[in-house]
Structure 1
Amino acid sequence: MGAGQPMVIVTGGSRGIGAATARLAARRGYAVCINYYRNREAAEGVVAEITANGGQARALAADVASETDVQALFEQAEEALGPVAALVNNAGVLEQQCRVENIDAARLTRILATNVTGAFLCCREAVRRMSTRHGGQGGAIVNVSSAASRLGAAGEYVDYAASKGAMDTLTIGLSREVAGEGIRVNAVRPAFIYTDMHADGGEPGRVDRLKASLPMQRGGQPEEVASAIVWLLSDEASYATGSFIELAGGR
C-alpha cells in the first residue's frame, strides 16, 4: 500500500461509470478497491490499467445484495489497501424495459436487493469504519443515483427509477445522521450516459434515440460522471453534504 494513500471502495467498478471513477480516483491519489459481481476479467483489466500508471488497486468480488458479501468486501479491502476513507455506491441493476402492469414481485426483489439493500449495507459498513463516533477519521460517500428518480422512466423501468428514489432518500437521511461525525454523503444523478447498462434494459442504442430531446442534444460519457463523483469525494467539496449533482444533459 502506498504511504498515506486514502482508500476508496467503488462498487460495480468493472465497467461504465464505476470503471471511469476508479481510474480517475487512482489518478487523484486514491488506492482503489474495485468491486465486481461476475466479470472478474473486466475488473482485473481496470486494475491493470491503474497499476500500469503507478496506482494502487485491487479487484474484489462481492454481491452487494448479500450482507455477508458486503462485510467480507470491506474487511478484505482494508486488509489489502488500508482504512476506507471513501465509498462510491455505484453498483446497480435494471431489467428489460416494460410497463408497471407487467412487473412481477421477483423482478422487484432483484432490483431492490441490489439498488437499495446493497446501498444501505455498503453505507452501513462505511459509517462503522469512518465515523468519528466509532473512532474513525471521517470520510465521504457518493451514491450514484439516476435522473430516473425524478423523471420516473415511464414505459421503461419505473421499478429502477423507484429504487433510485430510495437511494436519494438514503442520501438525504444519512447525510444528516452523520454530518457531525466527519462523514459527508452526497449523490450524483446521471442519465443518458453511454454505458453497457442500456443493453441490460434491452435497448443498446437508447442514448442515441433520446439525445435529440435533451437540451444539450448529446449523450454523456462515463468520465463526465466520474469527474463529479471524485470532486464530491475531495476536500474541494468539504462543505457539501446531502447534495445532488444532476448529470443528464439539462433534462
Structure 2
Amino acid sequence: MAEPVPQVVIVTGGSRGIGAAVALRAARAGYAVVVNSSADAAGAGSTVEGITADGGVAVAVQADVSDPAAVARLFDAAASLGTLAAVVNNAGITGNLIGPLTDVPAATVRRVLDVNVAGMVYVCQEAVRRLSTEPGGRGGSIINISSTATKAGSPGTWVHYAASKGAVDVLTVGLAAEVASQGIRVNCVAPGSTNTGLHAAAGMPDRVERLNHTIPMGRGAEPDEVAAAVLWLLSGEAGYITGAVLPVSGGR
C-alpha cells in the first residue's frame, strides 16, 4: 500500500517567536512544515532541527513575502513535501523602533506596509491559487496573524504597526467571504502582548512586563499559547468557522 501523501503547512516568519511555536505545534499535529524566513536562516534552521529531532518533517525556505516572485517560489518548495493543506501568514515587522508616529521614517513606514500588508496579500493570493477547489485544488485553511494593537492603535509606540494589522483584520474578513465556496477557510489570530523577541528588537525588552498591569490575566502570552489557538482554527473542530478574528490577549 502506498504511503499517504503528507499534509503540508507553510508558516511564514517561522524562524522565531509565534511562527516557530506554530511550526513546532503543527509538526506535532502531523503536518509537514515549511518554515519560512526572510533573512534569519539560523533561526529557521533551528526550528527545523527542533521538528526533525521530534520525528517530524520540515524544511526551511528563505523568501521575502513582500516579493510576489519569492512567495511563488516558497509555495513551489512546499509542493515538494506533499499536498498543501494550510498556510499560516505570520511574517510581520515593527520596523524595530518605538516612538510617536511623527518620528517614524518614511522608509520604515513603507517597509512595514510592504511586509505586513502587501506581503499578507501576496501570500493569501498564492494560497488561494493553490488551495481553491475551482481550478482543482483540495481546499484548505489560511490563518493570518494580526494583533490586538488594532483596538487602541498603540499610541506613542507603534501606530504604524497597529494600522498595518488593522488591514490584516479587514483582509481576513473580506477574503473569507470571497473564497468560502472554494473550500477555503480564512481566519485570523490576534495576539496581545506576547513574550517574543519583537520588543527587544525595538529597544524595549521589558515592554511586555510593563504592560502586565493592563492585562486582566496579569501577564503576557507565551508563543505556544498563541500557537495553540492557530492549530485549533486549522483543525476540523473549527470546520464551520471562517472570517473570525480571534483575540489571544488575556482579556485585554
Short-chain TM bin: over 0.9
Q: What is the aligned partner in structure 2 of residue 83 from structure 1?
A: 83
Q: What is the aligned partner in structure 2 of residue 106 from structure 1?
A: 107
Q: What is the aligned partner in structure 2 of residue 175 from structure 1?
A: 176
> In structure 2, what residue type is equivalent to 1:215?
P
Secondary structure of the 1:34 match is strand
Answer whether contact 2:13 2:37 (CA < 8 A) is retained: yes
Q: What is the aligned partner in structure 1 of residue 212 from structure 2?
A: 211
Secondary structure of the 1:20 match is helix
Q: What is the aligned partner in structure 2 of residue 21 from structure 1?
A: 22
TM-score (norm: length of structure 2): 0.97
**Structure 1: stretches of 5+ with no match in the other structure:** none
User: C-alpha separation between the residues in 1 aligned to 2:206 and 2:153?
Assistant: 20
Give matches, 1:81-230, under 5 Å.
81-95=81-95, 96-230=97-231
Give matches, 1:1-16, under 5 Å.
3-16=4-17
User: C-alpha separation between the residues in 1 aligned to 2:84 and 2:203?
Assistant: 36
When the two structures are aligned, how many residues end up with a matched partner?
249
Give matches, 1:229-240, under 5 Å.
229-240=230-241
How far is 1:187 from its partner?
0.3
> In structure 2, what residue type is equivalent to 1:52?
A
User: C-alpha separation between the residues in 1 aligned to 2:213 and 2:100?
Assistant: 24
User: C-alpha separation between the residues in 1 aligned to 2:25 and 2:150?
Assistant: 26
> In structure 1, what residue type is equivalent to 2:87?
L
Runs of 4+ with deviation above 4 angstroms: none
User: C-alpha separation between the residues in 2 aligned to 1:14 and 1:218?
Assistant: 24
How far is 1:245 from its partner?
1.1
User: C-alpha separation between the residues in 1 aligned to 2:67 and 2:222?
Assistant: 30
Q: Deviations over 1:93-141 (max 9, x none)?
A: 0020111222232111100000001100000111001001121000000
User: C-alpha separation between the residues in 2 aligned to 1:236 and 1:143?
Assistant: 18
Answer whether contact 1:175 1:184 (CA < 8 A) is retained: yes
- The range that moved more, 223-232 or 33-42, is 33-42
User: C-alpha separation between the residues in 2 aligned to 1:187 and 1:151?
Assistant: 18
Answer whether contact 1:141 1:183 (CA < 8 A) is retained: yes
Give matches, 1:67-82, under 5 Å.
67-79=68-80, 81-82=81-82
User: C-alpha separation between the residues in 2 aligned to 1:247 and 1:132?
Assistant: 31
> In structure 2, what residue type is equivalent to 1:25?
A
How far is 1:67 from its partner?
1.1
Answer whether contact 2:6 2:83 (CA < 8 A) is retained: no
How far is 1:196 from its partner?
0.2
User: C-alpha separation between the residues in 2 aligned to 1:77 and 1:28?
Assistant: 17
> In structure 2, what residue type is equivalent to 1:214?
I
Q: What is the aligned partner in structure 2 of residue 57 from structure 1?
A: 58
How far is 1:184 from its partner?
0.2
Answer whether contact 1:94 1:200 (CA < 8 A) is retained: no
> In structure 2, what residue type is equivalent to 1:87?
V
User: C-alpha separation between the residues in 2 aligned to 1:237 and 1:221?
Assistant: 22
Answer whether contact 1:89 1:143 (CA < 8 A) is retained: yes
How far is 1:63 from its partner?
0.5
How far is 1:241 from its partner?
0.1
